[in-house]
């Protein structure tokens, strides 16, 4: 695991975007694993900018998102489907059929998981973008998720619901369940780029960098992956 410390969120976003765009230049039909949340928004803005300057194209890029809330319609303003379109897909030349986001619509959620998992197992993700939860979650793999877990329905911890409350009108509106890639799916990516910014991530980054590998802290498994780059800003790095 290589840790790169940068000054601030702007630098973090810029450096991450160079890594992603270098890949797209070398491999225009790359498969990206994408994340939602506040952290990757700057990265996506830089990628849109590079696309507008004709430096990169998403024409042949395929994407797989980490997760999606249950009990929110796809077009809800806080669904990850909406987030990805608003923050990246609507502004670049990606083909809608190359976009993959877990679907929690319909009755048979177990079937939705199996379908997404089979798709993931047929794909090879060249680069997986990750954020990290303050409790060490990656995707929505909450503490004590088995490391060999594949795509599943997760009950979100209260900590995660409270962390995500800022996107909703009240805590009551934050979904209790989500569908998420499992840790095993994430570990199958050829390369992983984890981004963390701000004081609220400092404790998690300390545990990631200095702690042991344990299912109590899901991100710790990344130490076993051969190709992980962690980019953190000064505030996120303040406890290491
Ligand atoms: P954030 O979320 O980018 O909104 O901080 C990260 C995560 O929970 O994985």
State the pLDDT at residue 104.
Answer: 83
* Pocket flag, ligand 1, residue 129 (CB < 6 Å): no
Whether 67 sits among the annotated catalytic residues: the reply is: yes
Residues 6+ apart with CB under 8 A from 98: 60, 61, 62, 63
Q: Ligand 1: which of 39, 174, 235 to mutate, judged by most atoms within 8 Å of the beta carbon?
A: 39
The catalytically annotated residue of 137, 164, 188, 235 is 137
| Mean pLDDT value across residues 123-136 | 97
For the segment 173-228, what is each residue's pLDDT rounded down to a tens digit?
A: 999 999 999 999 999 999 999 999 999 999 999 999 999 999 999 999 999 999 99
Cα 238 to its chain centre, rounded Å, is 23
Catalytic residue flag (residue 97): no
Active site residue 137: yes
Report which ligand 1 atom has the smallest distance to the Cα of 138: 9
β-partners of residue 3 are 230
Instruction: Report the distance separating Cα 214 and Cα 216, nearest Å.
Output: 5
Helix (H, G, I), strand (E, B) or coil at 72: coil
- 17 CA to centre of ligand 1 in angstroms: 18
CA–centroid distance, residue 206 to ligand 1 (Å) = 16
What count of residues does the chain have? 240
* Spatial distance between the Cα atoms of 57 and 75, rounded to a whole number of angstroms: 26
DSSP assignment string, 137-163: -BTTB-TT--TT--SEEEEPPHHHHHH
In this prediction, what percent of the chain has a pLDDT beyond 90?
Answer: 97
Whether 72 is in the pocket of ligand 1, judged by its Cβ within 6 Å, is: no
Helix (H, G, I), strand (E, B) or coil at 73: coil
Q: Which of 43, 23, 62 lies closest to 194 in space, CA to CA?
A: 43
Asked if the model's pLDDT at residue 105 lies above 90, the reply is no
Q: Is 156 in the pocket of ligand 1 (CB under 6 A)?
A: no
pLDDT tens, position by position, 8-53: 999 999 999 999 999 999 999 999 999 999 999 999 999 999 999 9
**pLDDT tens-place string over residues 137-152:** 999 999 999 999 999 9
């Amino acid at each position: 695991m290589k840790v790169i410390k940068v000054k601030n969120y702007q630098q973090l976003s810029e450096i991450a975007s160079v890594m992603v765009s270098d890949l797209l230049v070398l491999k225009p039909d790359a498969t990206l694993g994408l994340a939602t949340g506040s952290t990757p928004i700057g990265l996506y803005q830089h990628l849109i900018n590079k696309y507008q300057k004709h430096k990169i194209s998403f024409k042949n890029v395929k994407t797989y998102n980490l997760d999606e809330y249950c009990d929110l319609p796809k077009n809800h303003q806080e669904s990850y489907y909406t987030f990805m379109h608003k923050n990246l897909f609507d502004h670049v030349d990606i083909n809608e059929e190359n976009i993959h986001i877990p679907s929690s619509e319909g009755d048979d959620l177990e079937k939705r998981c199996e379908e997404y998992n089979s798709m993931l197992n047929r794909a090879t993700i060249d680069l997986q973008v990750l954020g990290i939860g303050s409790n060490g979650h990656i995707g929505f793999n909450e503490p004590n998720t088995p490391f060999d877990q594949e795509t599943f329905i997760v009950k979100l911890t209260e900590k995660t619901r409270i962390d995500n409350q800022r996107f909703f009108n009240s805590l009551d509106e934050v979904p209790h369940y989500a569908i998420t890639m499992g840790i095993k799916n994430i570990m199958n990516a050829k390369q992983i780029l984890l981004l963390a910014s701000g004081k609220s991530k400092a404790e998690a980054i300390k545990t990631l960098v200095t702690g042991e590998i344990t299912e109590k802290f899901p991100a710790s498994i990344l130490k076993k992956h051969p190709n992980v780059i962690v980019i953190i800003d000064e505030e996120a790095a303040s406890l290491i």
